[in-house]
Amino acid sequence: MVDAQHIPAVAPDAKVAVRDLTVRYGNHVALKDVSLEIREHEIFGIIGPANSGKTSFLRALNRMDTFTTGMSVEGTVEFSGHDIRTIKNLYALRKRIGVVFPLPVGLPLSIYDNVALSPRLRGVRKRADLDVIVERCLRRAALWDEVKDRLKSLGSLLSGGQQQRLTIARALSQEPDLLLLDEFSIAVDPVTTMRIEDVLKELKKEVTIVLVTNLVQQARRLADRTAFFLMSECVEIAETEAFFDGRVKDPRSVDYVEGRFG
């Protein structure tokens, strides 16, 4: 078995390589025979209607089946060239793969401690070092200027949009190589959504991002390539603009992005 701490930082061909991935919840097939690759430092968009398997795909990338009753995964997911099923240190794997869920998941801690938690867990103890990490992550999440004078306040007292950016800051404090975003803007106002999108455009210089979104225009604004999921299958993958100018093979892809169904 491979310890995630010894995985090479850069994969030779792809950051994530998925082969024949099938996800089940009991007898229900949520995702069927998906194969794709996600490149280093790209924003990889995933679009599709509800119950098409998008969230299940993210769960499989982060081995959430380990803690999800009835969820089973078949196939292979390689992260930085190694099968994630062979990684024995699950915490080390998840340190490398950050997740932001649809609704802000604030810990019952101060703003500061929300961001400092992960560094403390990996052994950072000096206050000066933690201060640097907290400020850096809050700045990268476009939140620092709004909260720098109240870092001791509870994170749960922030507005919804601020809490979602705090969630992003907390994910970044793990120093991930891969960031999974599942409908991050579902409970965020349009102005804050655009601010977070600007953050993501900058972050892709440092991390690889997988963006699940029901907003096809958001995928168009952010994603380098986009995958279209439908009825538990990956219908096709293309450069994002191809979905919006008709240069795709399956007519269902065009129908979806043009709002004919979904």
Q: How far apart (Å, rounded) are the C-alpha atoms in residues 7 and 149?
A: 39
Which residues are paired to 7 by β-bridges? none
pLDDT in tens, 89-136: 888 888 899 999 887 776 799 999 999 999 998 899 999 999 999 999
pLDDT in tens, 85-99: 888 888 888 889 999
Q: How far apart (Å, rounded) are the C-alpha atoms in residues 105 and 86?
A: 29
The more confident residue out of 175 and 188 is: 175
Mean pLDDT (whole number) for 224-240:
96
Q: Does 2 score more than 50 pLDDT? A: no
The more confident residue out of 122 and 10 is: 122
Q: How far apart (Å, rounded) are the C-alpha atoms in residues 28 and 68?
A: 14
- Residue-level pLDDT at 189: 84
DSSP 245-259: TT--S-HHHHHHHTT
pLDDT in tens, 235-250: 999 999 998 888 888 9
Most confident of 52-56, 105-109, 204-208: 52-56
- Among 254, 234, 252, smallest CA distance to 243 is for 254
Mean pLDDT (whole number) for 212-239:
96
Q: How far apart (Å, rounded) are the C-alpha atoms in residues 79 and 77?
A: 7
- Residue-level pLDDT at 195: 86
- Residue-level pLDDT at 13: 60
- Among 193, 198, 167, 194, smallest CA distance to 103 is for 167
Q: How far apart (Å, rounded) are the C-alpha atoms in residues 15 and 40?
A: 5
Q: Does 22 score more than 80 pLDDT? A: yes
DSSP 168-229: HHHHHTT--SEEEEESTTTTS-HHHHHHHHHHHHHHTTTSEEEEE-S-HHHHHHH-SEEEEE
Question: 3-state DSSP call for residue 48?
Answer: coil
Q: What is the mean pLDDT of the chain?
A: 90
Percent of the chain beyond pLDDT 90?
Answer: 65
Q: Does 9 score more than 60 pLDDT? A: no
- Residue-level pLDDT at 262: 67
Please, what sign has the CA dihedral across residues 102, 107, 108, 111?
negative
CATH code of the domain made up of 4-257: 3.40.50.300
Q: How confident is the model at residue 65 (pLDDT cuts 50, 70, 90)?
A: confident
Q: Tell me if 58 sits within 8 A of 215, measured CB to CB.
A: no
Mean pLDDT (whole number) for 190-199:
88
Percent of the chain beyond pLDDT 70?
Answer: 94
What stretch of H or E contains 42? Answer: none
